[in-house]
A and B are shown apart, each in its own frame.
Chain A
Amino acid sequence: MDTNDITVMSSPVDLKPEDFRKIGSDEKQAEVIQRESLSAWRDAWRRLRANKMAMTALGVLGLIVIAAIVGPMISKYNYYSNDLLNTNQKPSAEHWFGTDDLGRDMFVRTWYGARISLIVGLAAAMIDLFIGVIYGGIMGYFGGRVDNIMNKFSEILYAIPYLLVTILLLVVMEPSLPTIILALTITGWINMSWIVRGEIMQLKSREFVLASRSMGAGWRRLLFRHLLPNAMGPIIVTVTLSVPNAIFAEAFLSFLGLGVQAPIASLGSMINDALTGWLYYPWRMLFPAVLISLTMLSFNIFGDGLRDALDPKLKK
């Protein structure tokens, strides 16, 4: 940026007084909008599009989502049928990703598992978003004693290690898709609530809020119409980055036998299943492991790109 300015200033062009013309100040001309005006969102999108890494990550995520939806449909196999005559087959024309220890088709299971992992990740992120925005919004907007009490409460909850609570809950409740998502969100929303709280606290003293308030807007209008939309950037970034965390947490739970239960598969549970004897049947580990890493990688890169695009000030 700086270097550009310097080169323009020092460019060796011979300028004579004749080259200049007095135009005065014409108020009408001052009002003319020379360039198409860009909303903050379009501006952010423009910055995001210029970020090749982030766009690649977005593309990869898109492909993974499509494959997770379509993959299990186009195969003639399903994710639960055993075929004990064809166990631990290598990848072939018949079974593209091979088969597992019960002869189930790995291609279908991998994409089906990706579907479950994505569902867990997205659902957990959405619930975190919902609770976090409401809780954080109330803390940030009302401030004072309300904020103090609610913040203390969330701090106490947050100090309890996240995965321990999740493990405890799942030991008591039988692991299933809804209980896993519930267990993952039990303290997962706190981070989001703090982000929202911080944003709202900064925004509520700004002039446009004062303007709206002086025109008689109630707290609902202020919060949902002015404060939250303006806090959207950090919220979206936090959601994007919390999806891979939930996917990883589910994989970790699968490892403890507290993830989704067979025959349902998630990428984590497949990796866990593959661990026994994977030195002999590496493909059973390879496909789910590559896919989960790729998914988490893409979410992380895309989230970073999103943060840079939405808040250029933060860019390092």
Chain B
Amino acid sequence: MARYIANKLFYTLVSLFILISATFFLMKAIPGNPFMSEKKVPVAIQERLYEQYGLNKPVYQQYFKYLGDIAQGDFGISMKKINQDVSTIIGDTFTASLKLGLVAIVVSVIVGVTLGLLAALYHRRLIDNIAMVVAVLGIAVPSFVIASLLQFVFSSKLHMFPTMGFKGPMYYVLPVTALAAQPIAFIARLTRSSMLEVLHADYIKTAKAKGLRWYAILFKHVIRNGILPIVTYLGPMTANIVTGSVVIEQIFGIGGIGKQFVQAIGVRDYPVIMGITIFYGILLMVARFLTDVAYVFVDPRIKLSGGKED
């Protein structure tokens, strides 16, 4: 158990290290540097600039300095926004993204599980069919299409919700719906098939045979066992919501990290791109690591086989 977690932790760290190194060397591979411009800058000034930013040192020294800085949470300075730390940019905008993301995760899990459970309980009936149509649509229709559609219908035509911004509860409804659509679809499908399996298991027959009431069977046996596979999806879901938020924040004008990321890519603000990439990387890898660990705690059957070996 402890070995399994240590193992997972080790691989997570290796992956993270590779991502950071890849980010650094890829950015170094871009020809030129921030202080090369068409305008002639006096050599002395240029050298001062290189010295200040450590660009006159050999690449490997820059690399180790970069690793050290990141370990201390310093992602460098933005190239386009004057005197702005990348860490400050991330820190300032993270709250909005976090709020949006957390609400979307909670909504996804609640709606997804409910939908999947209903579909399984009413297998091959109307509710099942409706739920599966919703699930297929949620997977197939890209989130930015859903977002635009929601914006068009509910804020532009019906004026029910605000189009842009992120100020109060009403501002959450549309972005969260668009962001949660795909995870809801995945969770609903996952829950449905898992619950169907559980519903046909022998211990459910036993429970029925000994005369347990339906709600006792449902809550004590069906849901507790059927919910397990959902835990495995929590890691991928975080990834899904993070990438989704990049688009959704842009469409709904929410000042989160995603929006900063899109802007930075647009103007090729390399330190910001690198910083946010690594920040996202850490976030997603930690989420995946926690998912792996959580799964062992939730499902005691895994302990016996000693880790994930197909």
Contact = CB atoms under 8 A, between A and B. Distances in A.
A297 to B, nearest CB: 4
Contact of A161 (B139, B192, B239, B268): B239
B141 A161 contact: no
A271 B145 contact: yes
A130 interface: no
B145 A289 contact: yes
B18 interface: yes
Question: What is the interface of chain B mostly: helix, strand, loop, or mixed?
Answer: helix
Given A161-B281, A279-B152, A255 B144 contact: yes
B136 A297 contact: yes
Interface in B1-32: 11-12, 14-15, 18-19, 22-23, 26-27, 29-30
A146 interface: no
Interface string B146-182: 0011011000100000000000000000000000000
Contacts of B127: none
A225 interface: no
A300 B145 contact: no
The contact size tier of chain B is: 35 or more
Interface stretch (A16-24, A35-43, A86-94, A163-171): A163-171
Contacts of B310: 198, 201
A155 B19 contact: no
B109 interface: no
B148 A167 contact: no
A262 to B, nearest CB: 14
B285 interface: yes
B265 A167 contact: yes
Contact of B145 (A165, A169, A293): A293
A285 B281 contact: no
Interface string B249-270: 0110000000001100110101
Nearest to A300: B140
A142 interface: no
A159 B140 contact: no
B293 interface: no
B267 to A, nearest CB: 10
A198 B270 CA distance: 40
Given A164-B280, A201-B310, A316-B196, A255 B11 contact: no
A162 B277 CA distance: 11
Contact of A300 (B29, B139, B273): B139
Interface stretch (A4-12, A102-110, A121-129, A244-252): A244-252
A172 interface: yes
A1 interface: no
A279 B19 CA distance: 39
B247 interface: yes
For the complex, would chain A's binding face be called helix, strand, loop or mixed by DSSP majority?
helix
A75 to B, nearest CB: 25
A285 B137 CA distance: 18
B246 interface: yes
Contact of A168 (B15, B23, B145, B152): B23
A234 to B, nearest CB: 14
Contact of A297 (B140, B192, B288): B140
A157 B310 CA distance: 18
A293 B141 contact: yes
A161 B149 CA distance: 28
B27 A172 contact: yes
Interface string A269-296: 0011001001100100100010011001
Contacts of A15: none
Interface string A249-268: 00110011110000000001
Contacts of A165: 19, 22
B236 to A, nearest CB: 10
Contacts of B30: 172
A85 interface: no
B55 interface: no
B136 A301 contact: yes
Nearest to A257: B266
A258 B139 CA distance: 23
8 contacts: A152-B11, A159-B15, A165-B19, A255-B246, A255-B250, A255-B262, A279-B151, A289-B149
Given A160-B22, A172-B26, A275-B144, 18 more contacts: A159-B288, A160-B18, A160-B19, A163-B239, A164-B281, A165-B22, A167-B273, A168-B23, A169-B26, A201-B310, A251-B142, A285-B148, A289-B149, A293-B145, A296-B139, A296-B141, A297-B136, A301-B136
- Which 7 pairs, one residue from A and one from B, show the smallest C-beta to C-beta distance? A297-B140, A159-B15, A296-B140, A293-B141, A289-B145, A161-B284, A172-B26
Interface of B: 11-12, 14-15, 18-19, 22-23, 26-27, 29-30, 136-137, 139-142, 144-145, 148-149, 151-152, 156, 192-193, 196, 239, 243, 246-247, 250-251, 261-262, 265-266, 268, 270, 273, 277, 280-281, 284-285, 288, 310
